[in-house]
Amino acid sequence: MMEGNVEIFKGTTSRKIITPCPHCFNTLKNEYPQYGGNFEVVHHSEFIKKLLDEGKVKLTKKVDHGKLTLHDSCYLGRYNEIYEQPRAIISATTNGGTVEMGKHGKLSFLLRRGRRQDVDGGRHRKAHQRSPRENGGRRRRELRVHGVPVLPHDVQRRVQEPRKRDIKVYDISQLVVEAMDDGLTSSN
């Protein structure tokens, strides 16, 4: 399958792949090269931060969600050492500040999902899998932010069910959209 995908990518004029998914990011960046897929691969948090730094995305306000926390994805953080960009985006878009999860950065735990074994071939042990509540500690939070766009619905369901709390779960790109009116410039 990878070989076929590499041929498809090579058949295009683009040499940069931007993905919001840490799992795809890791696979494309670290596994595809052994099949001839030598592409520039960028996680959307890196891309968004670059656009903000270059002034290509203009934020018009900071949104107020109160204190929030960021889940460090294993494939983004632990395996590819991307920690700063999501936090910089949160800082640029919100004014409530952050509360770090009990286990964050290199100590962050894998979120327990039914498809994990299929995605990574079972490389993770149960000891490294925790539910969002277990990973987040006991502190009360109103908002959780993820760099994994496919997770918010699943995570929101699981953090609300045990105590029926109203916790909102967002991807970092959603915070950027909330903080801008028409923030994309017409150039590039």
The 10s digit of each residue's pLDDT in 51-82 is 999 999 999 999 888 888 888 888 888 899 99
Mean per-residue pLDDT, 149-159? 51
At residue 186, does pLDDT exceed 60?
Answer: no
Mean per-residue pLDDT, 84-88? 92
Instruction: Between 128 and 17, name the one with better pLDDT.
Output: 17
Mean per-residue pLDDT, 128-150? 49
Percent of the chain whose pLDDT exceeds 90: 40
Mean per-residue pLDDT, 160-186? 71
**CA–CA separation, 176 vs 183, rounded Å?**
9
Confidence label for 166 from pLDDT (cuts 50, 70 and 90): low
At residue 137, does pLDDT exceed 70?
Answer: no
Mean predicted lDDT score pLDDT of the chain: 75
Instruction: Between 123 and 111, name the one with better pLDDT.
Output: 111
| CA dihedral of residues 37, 147, 106, 163 (deg, nearest 10) | -140
Per domain, the residue ranges of the chain are: 2-53, 68-178
Instruction: Between 1 and 101, name the one with better pLDDT.
Output: 1
Give the DSSP H/E element, type plus range, for residue 178.
Answer: helix 172-178
* Nearest alpha-carbon partner for 69 in 39, 32, 97: 97
pLDDT at 135: 47
Q: Which backbone phi and psi does 70 adopt, to 5 degrees?
A: -115, 130
Instruction: Between 87 and 103, name the one with better pLDDT.
Output: 87
DSSP-H helix ranges across 31-113:
44-53, 84-93
The 10s digit of each residue's pLDDT in 23-46 is 899 999 999 999 999 999 999 999
